[in-house]
């Protein structure tokens, strides 16, 4: 398959929307007009990355059932997000468009520039990681040249994200989410059947290898830390909050947990199915234990159709996340930062231009040295958890934190980054994102106590 | 509220070794207790009641703590994760959310 094929549909969508005059609500929040299912499917596609299709199952194959603790929060997080975040922001009038704006409304205007800058930095790092993920995906599944795939997928996503903003991207993401769910079910089913017919799955389960049990080869403390990080962390990821800005009404909010949980668990089937099949085949000596390459090797065993389906699912997972990160970054720089400094007029042209420039910057950074990328890769889930979770909880709970919120965000983010750099020396179960969030909470609690 | 939750968290963490639970479990439950307690703070018509928060927390404890007891039972441990903790937990939490949403506090 040629990488340039992905550009044609994106170019068509971009041309169709290029001449339209979009408001900021349309560009950043899909006009607040999405139903629960549209928002839920798009939210699931945005929230999941290619790691779901490749890295996650490979982790199950290498450390066993302990890796399942990363996805074990899935039944809870949909309901929890709707309780904590949805109830907080969907009923507001006028509807806000971004996380920094929301935080500023509840915690004071000084929060907005800090939140916007942290969000922009995290989104840029996230984009670089997604670009590198395309490269890895091309090497394992799509075929060379990897750099060309990276360029084509980014240009395609940048085209529709810049032309139509989330007004278009919410539909594209929802379709991609539905395809990801269908692909995940098929791939998981075929992989498990393959492991079963190869005589690897049942003996592995019956004899109880080292990877089974409740935690596999992962220490219990690490498994619980993952559970906690991926449960509470889901409340602080800007790309997870985005779906609530799309939502039409509180009545739709009531239906959203079903849409979110259903679509999320459907896609995560691939993590369980591929992971267990790969683990069993590795134990039986029918598949080499090759780290992240284990899953591509298994997919090749399953045939070209399954390989292509998994590649499409992983590509859609990346593309939807990229579209969201581009839009969030554009909102931070063209909506939140100018407003924080008193400039209240928003320009669609700037919104589009920053979307394109952000994509190009991410491509340039991804093409540079691996060391830089590895460093930027640290700014992921844990970074957003450390930076935003205390502030979000303080805003939701209406804590009297005064002007401490920007400091708590900066300290949490900084601590998370510092600890990530020391990760090999950290004891098991210590997650930098959680420690950073803990420090932020402590600061906010002290500030609240000082204010009485 | 935050101070009560913090006190509960501390008490749970301190009593965890005596109860035979790793501190991580206590931390996990304490953090989720704090979070769910926060979730009931918002005014009507949204937000779960105290009963729903307690039910959700009890369900979480009931699902996660047995995984420690089953840690070294290869097949049973895995089936516990994939069955009650993963597949069956989803309808339970969705039902609790819906109940909490339906009934104004």
Report ipTM (2 d.p.).
Answer: 0.81
| Terminal Cα-to-Cα distance of chain B (whole angstroms) | 18
Q: Which residues of B touch A84 (CB under 8 A)?
A: 35, 38-39
Contact status, residue B38 vs residue A397, Cβ threshold 8 Å: yes
B27/A224 Cβ within 8 A: yes
pTM for this prediction: 0.87
Q: CB-CB: which of B2, B48, B81 is closest to A65?
A: B81
**Residues contacting A192, CB < 8 A, separation 6+:** A201, A273, A276, A277
- Banded pLDDT at B12 (limits 50, 70, 90): low
Tokens of B25: 């479990």
Residue A371 has pLDDT above 60, yes or no: no
Read off the pLDDT of each residue in A289-305 and give the average, rounded to a whole number.
88
- Nearest Cα residue to A377 out of A153, A155, A127: A127
Read off the pLDDT of each residue in B67-96 and give the average, rounded to a whole number.
88
Name the phi and psi angles at A109, rounded to 5.
-65, -20
Number of Cβ atoms within 10 Å of the Cβ of B89: 22
Contact status, residue A168 vs residue A13, Cβ threshold 8 Å: yes
- Banded pLDDT at B93 (limits 50, 70, 90): confident
Name the phi and psi angles at A247, rounded to 5.
-65, 140
Check if A72 contacts B (Cβ < 8 Å): yes
Q: What are the distances in angstroms from CA A159 to CA A10, A125, A151, A438?
A: 6, 20, 12, 39
Mean pLDDT of chain A: 88
Read off the pLDDT of each residue in A219-225 and give the average, rounded to a whole number.
82
Q: CB-CB: which of B22, B80, B98 is closest to A220?
A: B22
- Banded pLDDT at A117 (limits 50, 70, 90): very high
Residue B87 has pLDDT above 70, yes or no: yes
Suggest the residue from B2, B20, B66 to mutate for an interface test with chain A (most A CBs closer than 10 A): B2
**Nearest CA distance, B33 vs chain A (angstrom):** 11
Residue A1 has pLDDT above 80, yes or no: no
Q: CB-CB: which of B78, B87, B89 is closest to A213?
A: B78
Check if A82 contacts B (Cβ < 8 Å): yes
Residue, of A9 and A416, whose pLDDT is higher:
A416
**Nearest CA distance, A83 vs chain B (angstrom):** 6
Q: Which residues of A touch B48 (CB under 8 A)?
A: 83
Q: CB-CB: which of A214, A232, A397 is closest to B41?
A: A397
The residue of chain B with its CA nearest to that of A78 is B94
B93/A79 Cβ within 8 A: yes
A213/B97 Cβ within 8 A: no
B90/A75 Cβ within 8 A: yes
**Residues contacting A349, CB < 8 A, separation 6+:** none
The residue of chain B with its CA nearest to that of A264 is B90
Tokens of A70: 């990363």
Q: What is the pLDDT of residue A148?
A: 87
Name the phi and psi angles at A34, rounded to 5.
-85, 145
From CA A135, how far away is CA A139, in angstroms rounded? 6
Q: What is the pLDDT of residue A236?
A: 86
- Nearest Cα residue to A180 out of A1, A62, A53, A24: A53
Check if A424 contacts B (Cβ < 8 Å): no
Which pLDDT tens digit goes with each residue over A128-184? 888 988 888 887 777 768 888 889 999 999 999 999 999 999 999 999 999 999 999
Contact status, residue B99 vs residue B89, Cβ threshold 8 Å: no
**Residues contacting A304, CB < 8 A, separation 6+:** none
| Terminal Cα-to-Cα distance of chain A (whole angstroms) | 64
HSE toward the beta carbon, residue A34, CA cutoff 13 A: 33
Q: What is the pLDDT of residue B64?
A: 83
From CA A217, how far away is CA A210, in angstroms rounded? 7
């Amino acid at each position: 398959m040629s990488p340039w094929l992905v550009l044609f549909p994106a170019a068509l969508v971009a041309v169709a929307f290029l001449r339209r005059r979009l408001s900021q609500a349309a560009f950043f929040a899909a006009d607040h007009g999405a139903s629960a299912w549209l928002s839920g499917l798009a939210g699931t596609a945005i929230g999941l990355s290619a790691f779901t299709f490749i890295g996650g199952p490979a982790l199950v194959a290498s450390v066993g059932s302990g890796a399942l603790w990363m996805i074990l929060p899935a039944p809870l997080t949909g309901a929890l997000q709707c309780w904590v975040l949805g109830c907080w922001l969907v009923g507001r009038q006028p509807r806000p468009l971004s996380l920094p704006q929301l935080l500023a409304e509840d915690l004071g205007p000084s929060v907005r520039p800090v939140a916007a800058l942290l969000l922009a930095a995290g989104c840029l790092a996230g984009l670089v990681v997604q670009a590198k993920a395309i490269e890895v995906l091309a090497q394992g599944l799509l075929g060379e040249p990897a750099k060309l795939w990276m360029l084509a997928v980014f240009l395609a996503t940048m085209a529709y994200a810049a032309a139509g903003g989330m007004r278009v991207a919410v539909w594209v993401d929802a379709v991609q989410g539905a395809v990801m769910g269908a692909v995940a079910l098929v791939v998981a089913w075929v992989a498990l059947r393959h492991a079963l017919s190869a005589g690897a799955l049942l003996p592995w389960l019956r004899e109880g290898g080292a990877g089974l049990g409740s935690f596999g080869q992962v220490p219990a403390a690490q498994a619980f830390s993952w559970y906690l990080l991926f449960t509470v962390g889901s409340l602080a990821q800007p790309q997870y909050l985005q779906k609530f800005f799309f939502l039409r009404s509180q009545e739709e909010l009531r239906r959203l947990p079903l849409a979110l949980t259903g679509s999320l668990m459907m896609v995560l089937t691939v993590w369980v199915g591929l992971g267990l099949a790969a683990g069993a085949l590795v134990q039986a000596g029918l598949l080499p234990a090759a780290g992240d390459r284990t899953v591509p090797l298994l997919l090749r065993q399953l045939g070209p159709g399954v390989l292509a389906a998994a590649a499409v699912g992983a590509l859609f997972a990346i593309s939807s996340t990229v579209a969201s990160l581009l839009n969030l970054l554009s909102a931070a720089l063209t909506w939140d930062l100018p407003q924080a400094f008193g400039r209240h007029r928003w320009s669609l042209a700037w919104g589009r231009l920053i979307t394109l420039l952000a994509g190009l910057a991410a491509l340039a950074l991804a093409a540079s040295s691996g060391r830089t990328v590895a460093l930027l890769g640290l700014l992921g889930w844990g970074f957003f958890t450390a930076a935003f979770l205390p502030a979000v909880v303080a805003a939701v709970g209406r804590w009297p934190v005064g002007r401490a919120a920007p400091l708590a965000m900066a300290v949490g983010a900084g601590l998370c980054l510092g600890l990530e750099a020391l990760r090999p020396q950290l004891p098991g179960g210590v997650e930098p994102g959680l420690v950073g969030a803990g420090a932020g909470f402590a600061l906010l609690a002290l500030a609240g106590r000082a204010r009485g | 509220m935050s101070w009560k939750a913090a006190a509960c968290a501390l008490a749970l963490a301190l009593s965890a070794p005596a109860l035979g639970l790793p501190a991580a479990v206590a931390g996990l439950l304490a953090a989720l207790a704090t979070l769910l307690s926060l979730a009931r703070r918002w005014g009507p018509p949204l937000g779960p009641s105290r009963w729903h928060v307690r039910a959700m927390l009890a369900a979480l404890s009931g699902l996660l703590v047995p995984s420690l007891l089953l840690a070294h039972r290869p097949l049973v441990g895995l089936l516990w994760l994939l069955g009650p903790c993963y597949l069956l937990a989803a309808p339970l939490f969705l039902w609790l959310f819906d109940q909490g949403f339906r009934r104004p506090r």
